């Protein structure tokens, strides 16, 4: 099976009413990694030790699109959350180049970062805004009839499930709340932004399935479960480190075919160290330091197979970061979208999926069992909760981030 992740859905409303020293590339890498880790910690706080995956690439892409239309304090709040603004020509040109490179990659990688802005048919948009959106990360502007939720259905990629953009219940024409207090009867047009991050690839060296000998996995509360796992003996990038609090961690980086992307794993060395003791100490500079100090080593690698699918209410997360005006119909300033006041974000929802498996046959399972019993090579065994980052290998940009607390959940 191939790793797969999918991204972000933003629902917006429009109402007609009153109302130092490092290179630019390295600096943006640090900012985007910090954004990913901030998003991870916010999501972890809502998930109470359970599995989850979230796509920083999809979230940031939607916020970047909104930056093109944001003005005043709304724009400052978005820039504060991202750590940068696409209104800066240098940032805009650099990110555009990166996104174009990712989209054009074909070295065994199926990867797409895209954003579609659906507008109510007949809505007048600023030509400058439309041009910026159409130029940004394989994005486009499409008409839609928001009285029909299926009109904003988009096919993420061939063979994957559909994502539906729809108005919150009670906000569409004909609903019981239409025209009542808080929902002005002059709200005639709607916008929705659907941002998707899709990644599919095979490992540089394929795993074999441990079908006949499951991996004993120690969950957060000490429960030991036999879980489906996969195995390989390969040259990998590996290191042992301590975080700022002195917790020991094993770090492993596995490459995908073509070396464009990699899976970065952070595993506590002590089975009794919970992930929430390590998470607060993860920073962009720590990840960067660990990455530069990894060494090539031949190792036995054991990983559980897992599948994570979840949904987040990004509105609460973003508001806790200080992005408040964007969701307030009286304070939001998105005049760059159409030249008129009244646009604001009504909902922000994120859907993500991550699957990990050997992408191979079960014919070599007996070999995995033999190696498990007799191999004397060093081993990386993910038999307890761990953190993963799916990254673009050369830039370090984080496509997806999450944790596995119980592979069977």
Q: Total structural domains in the chain?
A: 2
pLDDT confidence bin for 12, thresholds 50/70/90? low
| 299 or 257, greater pLDDT | 299
Q: Say if residue 146 is in the same domain as residue 250.
A: no
Question: Is 80 exceeded by the pLDDT of residue 367?
Answer: no
The CATH number given to whatever domain includes residue 175 is 3.30.497.10
Average pLDDT over residues 171-199: 46
More confident residue, 330 or 110: 330
Given this model, what pLDDT does residue 8 score?
Answer: 58
In a domain? residue 3:
no
> Out of 84-88, 353-357, 379-383, which region has the weakest mean confidence (pLDDT)?
353-357
Assess contact for 336 and 69: CB atoms under 8 A. yes
C-alpha distances (whole Å) from 302 to each of 153, 252, 357, 380 are 39, 11, 11, 6
Q: Both 254 and 181 in a single domain? A: no
Give yes or no for residue 297 having a pLDDT over 90: yes
Which contiguous run of DSSP H or E holds residue 57? Answer: helix 56-69
* pLDDT score at 275: 93
| Mean of pLDDT over the chain | 78
Q: How far apart are CA 16 and CA 18, in angstroms?
A: 7
The pLDDT tens digits of the residues spanning 124-146 come to 889 999 999 889 888 888 887 77
Select, from the ranges 83-92, 105-114, 147-156, the one with the highest average predicted confidence (pLDDT): 83-92
Q: Are residues 127 and 259 in the same domain?
A: no
pLDDT of residue 285: 93
pLDDT at residue number 109: 58
Task: Using only the alpha carbons of the chain, give its radius of gyration.
Answer: 22
pTM: 0.83
Q: Decide which of 354, 376, 391 is a domain's last residue.
A: 354
Task: Please report the pLDDT score of residue 357 as a whole number.
Answer: 78
Q: Is residue 2 part of a domain?
A: no
Paired strand residues for 273: none
On whether both 179 and 76 belong to a single domain, the answer is: yes
Question: What is the model's pLDDT at position 191?
Answer: 67
Confidence of residue 77 (pLDDT cuts 50, 70, 90): very high
Q: Looking at the structure, do residues 84 and 173 belong to the same domain, yes or no?
A: yes
Rounded CA-CA distance 359/356 in Å is: 9
Asked if the model's pLDDT at residue 188 lies above 70, the reply is: no
For 296-313, what is the mean pLDDT? 90
Q: Which CATH number goes with the domain that contains 292?
A: 2.30.39.10
1 within a domain of the structure (yes/no): no
Query: Both 113 and 196 in a single domain?
Result: yes
Confidence of residue 190 (pLDDT cuts 50, 70, 90): low
Please report, rounded to a whole number, the percentage of residues in the chain having pLDDT higher than 70: 76
Please check whether residue 301 is in contact with residue 380, taking contact to mean a CB–CB distance below 8 angstroms.
yes
**Given a cut of 90, is residue 74 above it in pLDDT?**
yes
Examine the domain organization and report whether 384 and 272 are in the same domain: yes
- Higher-pLDDT residue of 179, 294: 294
The pLDDT of residue 306 is above 80: yes
> In this structure, are residues 354 and 53 in contact, taking their beta carbons and an 8 Å threshold?
yes
Residue range of the domain that includes 155: 8-202+308-354
pLDDT bin (cut points 50, 70, 90) of residue 10 is: low
The partner residues of 207 in beta bridges, in order of sequence, read: none
Alpha carbon separation from 100 to 7, 48, 148 (Å, rounded):
18, 37, 33
Residue 74 domain-assigned?
A: yes
In this structure, are 18 and 156 located in the same domain? Answer: yes
More confident residue, 304 or 354: 304
> Same domain, yes or no, for 318 and 373?
no
The residue out of 354, 370, 388 marking a domain boundary is: 354
Whether residue 291 sits in one domain with residue 327: no
For residue 80 the two structure tokens come to: 């504060």
The stretch 61-79 carries a mean pLDDT of 94
Q: What is the pLDDT of residues 222-263, one digit of tens each?
A: 899 999 998 888 899 999 999 999 999 999 999 887 777 889
Tell me the percentage of the chain whose pLDDT exceeds 90.
38
| Residue 26 confidence (pLDDT) above 60 | yes
Please state the rounded mean pLDDT for residues 145-152. 64
Q: Is residue 122 part of a domain?
A: yes
- Domain assignment present for 107: yes
Residue 283 pLDDT level (bands cut at 50, 70, 90): very high
Kindly state the tokens that stand for 14.
Answer: 């429009």
Q: Tell whether 243 and 391 lie within a shared domain.
A: yes
169: number of Cβ within 10 Å = 9
Q: Are residues 126 and 260 in the same domain?
A: no
Q: Looking at residue 382, what is its pLDDT?
A: 95
Instruction: Kindly state whether residue 289 falls inside one of the protein's structural domains.
Output: yes
Domain contains 38: yes
């Amino acid at each position: 099976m191939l790793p797969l992740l999918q991204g972000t859905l933003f629902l917006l409303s429009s109402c007609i009413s009153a109302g130092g020293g490092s290179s630019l590339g390295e600096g943006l890498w640090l900012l985007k990694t910090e954004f990913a880790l901030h998003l991870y910690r916010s999501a972890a706080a809502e998930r109470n030790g359970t599995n989850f995956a979230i796509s920083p690439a999809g979230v940031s892409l939607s916020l970047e699109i909104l930056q093109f239309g944001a003005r005043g304090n709304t724009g400052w709040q978005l820039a504060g959350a991202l750590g940068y603004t696409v209104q800066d020509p240098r940032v805009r040109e650099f990110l555009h180049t990166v996104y174009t490179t990712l989209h054009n990659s074909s070295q065994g990688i199926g990867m797409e970062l895209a954003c579609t802005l659906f507008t109510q048919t007949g809505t007048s948009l600023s030509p400058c805004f439309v041009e910026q959106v159409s130029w940004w990360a394989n994005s486009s502007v499409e008409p839609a009839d928001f009285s029909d939720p299926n009109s904003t259905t988009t096919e993420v990629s061939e063979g994957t499930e559909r994502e539906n953009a729809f108005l919150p219940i009670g906000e569409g024409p004909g609903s019981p709340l239409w025209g009542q207090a808080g929902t002005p009867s002059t709200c005639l047009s709607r916008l929705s932004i659907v941002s998707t991050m899709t990644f599919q690839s095979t490992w540089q060296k394929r795993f074999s399935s441990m079908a006949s000998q499951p991996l004993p996995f120690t969950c957060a509360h000490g429960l030991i479960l036999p879980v489906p796992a996969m195995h390989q003996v390969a040259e990998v990038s590996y290191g042992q480190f301590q975080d700022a609090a002195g917790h020991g961690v094993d770090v492993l980086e596995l490459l995908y075919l073509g070396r464009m992307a990699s899976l970065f794993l952070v595993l506590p060395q002590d089975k009794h160290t919970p992930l929430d003791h390590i998470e607060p100490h993860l920073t962009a500079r720590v990840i960067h330091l660990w990455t530069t100090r990894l060494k090539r080593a031949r190792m036995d690698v054991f990983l559980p197979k897992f599948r994570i699918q979840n949904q987040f209410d990004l509105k609460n997360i973003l508001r806790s970061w200080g992005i408040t005006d964007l969701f307030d119909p009286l304070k939001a300033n998105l005049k760059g979208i159409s030249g008129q006041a009244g646009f604001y974000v009504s909902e922000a929802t994120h859907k993500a999926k991550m699957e990990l498996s050997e992408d191979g046959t079960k014919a070599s399972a007996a070999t995995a069992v033999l190696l498990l019993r007799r191999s004397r090579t060093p081993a990386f065994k993910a038999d307890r909760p761990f953190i993963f980052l799916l990254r673009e290998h050369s830039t370090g940009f984080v496509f997806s981030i999450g944790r596995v607390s119980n592979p069977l959940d």
